[in-house]
Structure 1
């Protein structure tokens, strides 16, 4: 779930920024073979990380162009 979804109330919803952030998470999952923050067992731990403005780490073997892309789309 994108940070914008956590910080806005139910009446405001979310927009394109949340969708773009979610694309970054999908790219992390596709490149690594694991969901973002796979080391955490609880969804609450993951929600805390996102709520604190953190982004998932890219895979260690990702090429520079992929890292640049993730830097653009995983902005909080």
Structure 2
């Protein structure tokens, strides 16, 4: 804002405008953090299931393919 515009906008209104921008920025940070957390959880869960499958294959199935898998 220019000096002239600062005089037109009351101090309270200017503070509200800045608070809206602050809240928008904070909301964006929270949304980005949640998305990152979802991605990490998804990758971790996928790796867990893969390891469980590998363990079952090695220990129980003795690395033999099921007849349905042929």
Q: Tell me the TM-score normalised to structure 1 length.
A: 0.29
Q: Which one has a larger percent helix, Structure 1 or Structure 2?
A: 2
Larger Rg: 2
